[in-house]
Structure 1
Amino acid sequence: MTSKTLPLHADTVGSYLRTEPLKQARAKFIAGELSQTELTNIEDQEIEKLVQAQLDAGIQVITDGEFRRAFWHIDFLEQLNGIEGYQPEHGYKFNGVETKAYNTRCCGKVSWNPNHPFIEHFKKLNKIVAGRAIVKYTIPSPNQLMYPVQWDTGIYANRAEFAKDVQQAYIDAMHAFYEAGCRYLQFDDVYWGSLCNNHEKPEFEADKAQALENIQVVLAAKPADMIITTHVCRGNFRSTYLLSGAYDPVADALFGQTRYDGYFLEYDDERSGGFEPLKHFAGNPGRVVLGLISSKFPELEDKASIKARITEASKYVPLEQLCLSPQCGFASTEEGNIMTEAQQWAKVALVEEIAKEVWGED
């Protein structure tokens, strides 16, 4: 079901708060009290409930909430050939809080793993949805492997050589998802957010050029009827953040020189700056999804204020090319943001209500 223009005017970033049965099952699995098969069965059951909850809420773009993952990115990356998970001394240091210590690094030549479990995960989700809505699947961007801690492990002579293999791995991954039936795939990307945060560093231009090349090469191999979007994130853990910075330093490259079908952009507070960088979007046939509804805090936004901001953004991007979504997922890690499931669904309902009032039915 992908006959509608995607992203929809009311769309979603991807992750949802983990349910209590799922949290309990994962804890028991880690403690050795539950087998992998038993955990998978519970994941299947909870994803079925999540799909129904999304349908009941009137959502037309359905995800599995990333319910099978501990992290939004690591679970995918460590299953690529040549990438391994490991325990560093520290986790990611967010604003006042630190994640558990786990990351990925290069341990061999990188390539796509034809037995990557995410393909089966997508197939299961697609079967559950069964054509009742549009299925969207999320994976980390190839840029998530461009940090020195990821690639500079002695396997490759330089980052450019490493990037070539990563690009091919992602092309192969994209085609594997396509062959499995996926027509709506999203690359979640904190790297652009880190460039906005670190644009004064001497390596900025080289880092930006590599990030741009990665995306251009992969998208050039995209099947014509496959929708690929990106979400530019500044970190999302326990209702706090990792990065700041307006889009200005990367706008020329990201908006002007890539051809994603959609750009999910955080715009929920002053850390993301204003809409002026969207002027670089001129001529881009895709859609800009304004993340104006915070997924970090439970308080509901004022409808009039959100509509006013949409109007402001339309000075730079035609209204028909604008969409609305939560600013990020509700649980980029299994811990989730600090709100209740009821508050989460109220946020989702607000997105749907405002979008219908601004654009009408998709």
Structure 2
Amino acid sequence: MGVGVPGSHVDVGAVGRVRPARSPARAETVGSLLRPAALRAAVARYYDEGHSAVLAEERARDASELRTIEDEAIREAVRRQIACGLDVVTDGEFRRWMFMNSFYDAVSGVRTDKTVSFRNADGEDVQLRIHEIVDRLRPADSPGAREAAFMREASGGFPFKVTFPAASIFTHPLTTVVGPDGRGYTSLEEFVTDAVEIERGLVADAIRAGATSIQFDFPLYPYLVDPAWVARFETRGRRIEALVEAAIAADTEVLRDIPDDVTVALHICRGNFRSSWMCEGSLEPLADRVFGELPYDAFLVEWDDRRREGGFEPIRSLRSGALMVMGIVSTKSPAMETEDALLARIRRPRQPDRRGRPVAEAGAGGPRRRSPVGDVNRWTEERGRGASQSDPCASTPRARRRWSTRRSWSRRRGGRSIGSVPRSRRSTTGSAS
């Protein structure tokens, strides 16, 4: 996986100490960072409780004070990520209420009156608002492009990424609610076609604004291996095989025309909202389709709880040249795993493949309600001291130890990084080469 341009110029004034980024990245932030107190307070003043997308009335409001506070928080987050030793940085999703806002803040035709349930370790249901489609989607903004433009300046030339929802999440027949009144779409399939095409445009905007790495979050696949969700789909007359095909097609189509020098990653998570999750089950039944066919440079997979998510057997199906990122550091609890315990997990005898690297699970910041992963644990005082799930620094020394056990992935093949994907693979077929 090639991220950015290794050794490229970095503006010392923008980010402080200069160092080259490693390619492919050994350590990076996968999801959101915990928001600083000043930003949380500003967001609470600006948005009403229950906000989950910027609707027309909110676009008309003056957000200059909020943007100034966001800018300051993002600059500090970027500085600290680079100082920690990360190889790709993000804005912490500080401009978003939730990860999907790079899409739903960009369109009209949405309202947010419906809810969906998350599960937590205590067996409780936690409700989160979801998006109801009440009219045909129309582009209204391009927040990902604004994020990229600001990050290009704030990072001083250091590699950064912008995230979008995985295209296959639009194919979810229960969490994407298509309005029944006929003003919008007559079918979910019609909506998916529009949504994927709009997202392709939003991704292109972000790349033109300077993004060299794009991460797609929360594809449908964990739902399709969860017995409870499978039962719900089948009760409503949905065939799992058809849902798999629709998901694969959407996640392939959204990559069409992305330049080869832009890294693309698929982040497979189970949901993380107030330390609750939406899906359980091993990805093994879908491993050949997902890891063997989808033309992504890297797969970032949540594996923080073996009981919920199964073992690492799906890595056997990883397509040659792709990179697997193992999300084994939990952000659902403030308890801190030891470095040795994490390394023991990925060195367990008879592991199916060693083409992986450790990283923290996504979702430390999440939507506006606080995560139990506290601010005190957000950044460690020194790299390598302790192991905070919400602290990007904590995974850096682990990644160094993990990567020191094998040859570097930065070797070249045919003039390309091992993790890069030939242009011909980014087609609408989704076939493996």
Counterparts in 2 of 1:91 and 1:211: CA distance versus 1, 3 Å: closer
2:310 is matched with 273
Q: TM-score, normalised by structure 1?
A: 0.89
The answer as to whether partners of 1:10 and 1:355 remain within 8 angstroms in 2 is yes
Task: Classify the secondary structure of the residue corresponding to 1:350.
Answer: helix
> SS at 1:43's partner residue?
helix
Q: Does 1:9 align with 2:26?
A: yes
Once residues 223 and 151 of structure 1 are traced to their aligned partners in structure 2, the CA distance between those partners, rounded to angstroms, is: 33
CA distance in 2, matches of 1:313, 1:187: 32
Q: Which letter maps to 2:153? A: K
For 1:151 and 1:30, locate their aligned partners in 2 and report how far apart those are by CA, in whole Å.
23
Answer whether contact 2:30 2:359 (CA < 8 A) is retained: yes
Q: Which amino acid in 1 is paired with 2:200? A: I
Moved more, 195-204 or 296-305: 195-204
- 2:62 and 2:351 mapped to 1: Cα distance? 54
Alignment of 1:218-237 (within 5 A): 218-237=254-273
Aligned Cα RMSD in Å? 2.5
Partner of 1:325: 359
Higher helix share: 1
SS in 1 for 2:325: strand
Q: State which drifts further: 303-312 or 231-240.
A: 303-312
Match 1:216 to one of 244, 252, 256: 252
Q: TM-score, normalised by structure 2?
A: 0.75
Distance 1:3 1:294, change over 3 A: same
Q: Which amino acid aligns with 2:162?
A: Y
Aligned-pair CA distance for 1:27: 1.6
Paired residue for 1:191?
220
Offset, 1:314: 8.4
Deviation of 1:142 (Å)? 1.6
Count of aligned residue pairs for this structure pair: 353
Structure 1 residues 126 and 338: CA distance shift in structure 2, 3 A: same
Pick the aligned partner of 1:21 from 25, 32, 38.
38
State the SS of the aligned residue for 2:164.
strand
Change in Cα spacing, 1:248 to 1:313, as seen in structure 2 (3 Å) is: farther
Instruction: Report 1:119-130 matches (<5 A).
Output: 119-130=145-156
CA distance in 2, matches of 1:314, 1:223: 38
Q: C-alpha displacement at 1:151, in angstroms?
A: 5.0
How far, CA to CA, are the matches of 1:37 and 1:358 in structure 2? 44
The answer to whether the 8 Å contact 2:27/2:85 transfers is no
Q: Which moved more, 1:192-201 or 1:216-225?
A: 192-201
Distance across 2 between alignment mates of 1:119 and 1:336: 27
**Does residue 182 in structure 1 map to residue 211 in structure 2?**
yes
Higher Cα radius of gyration: 2
The aligned residue for residue 86 of structure 1 is 112
1:87-112 CA-partner distances (Å, limit 9, x unpaired): 22x45443324245x32122333455
Q: 1:145 maps to which residue? A: 170
CA contact (8 A) 2:131 2:177 kept: no
Shift of 1:340: 1.9
Identity %: 26
Residues 277, 31 of structure 1: CA spacing in aligned structure 2 closer, same or farther, 3 A cutoff? closer
**1:335 alignment partner AA:** R
The gaps in structure 2 that reach 5 residues or longer are 7-21, 50-60, 380-386, 411-433
The answer (yes or no) to whether the contact 1:330–1:336 under 8 Å persists in 2 is: no
Report if aligned partners of 2:144, 2:203 keep a CA contact under 8 Å in 1: no
> Are the structure 2 counterparts of residues 99 and 159 from structure 1 closer, same or farther at C-alpha, using a change threshold of 3 Å?
closer
Counterpart of 2:126 (choices 98, 109, 118) is: 98
- d(CA) in 2 for partners of 1:335 and 1:190? 23
Match of 2:198 among 169, 186, 209: 169
**Secondary structure at the residue paired with 2:293?**
coil
Is 1:134 equivalent to 2:165 in the alignment?
A: no
SS of 1:87's equivalent?
Answer: strand
Q: Secondary structure at the match of 1:45?
A: helix
1:222-261 counterparts in 2 under 5 A?
Answer: 222-261=258-297
Tell me the residue number matched to 2:426. none
| Deviations 1:301-348, CA, capped at 9 Å, x for gaps | 12222222223498433x3x3122102231221224212223233433
1:44 maps to 2:71: yes
In structure 2, do the counterparts of structure 1 residues 91 and 161 end up closer, same or farther at CA, with 3 Å as the change threshold? Answer: closer
Whole-angstrom CA distance in 2 between matches of 1:186 and 1:192:
16
Within 2, Cα distance between the matches of 1:47 and 1:231?
22
Question: 1:278 aligns to what SS in structure 2?
Answer: helix
Aligned to 1:108: 135
**What are the residue-to-residue correspondences of 1:266-345 with 2, within 5 Å?**
266-269=302-305, 270-281=307-318, 283-312=319-348, 315-317=351-353, 319=354, 321-345=355-379
Indicate if the aligned counterparts of 2:263 and 2:297 stay in contact, CA closer than 8 A: yes
Structure 2 residue matching 1:246: 3-state secondary structure: coil
Amino acid at match of 1:230: L
Whether contact under 8 Å (2:144, 2:205) holds in the other structure is no
Q: Give unmatched runs, 5+ long, in structure 1.
A: none
**1:73-93 CA deviation, whole Å, 9 max, x = no partner?**
1x23323445413222x4544
User: Given residue 109 of structure 1, which amino acid in structure 2 is its aligned partner?
Assistant: R
Change over 3 Å in CA distance of 1:23–1:79 after alignment to 2: closer
Matches of 2:401 and 2:79, distance apart in 1: 24
**2:417 maps to what in 1?**
none
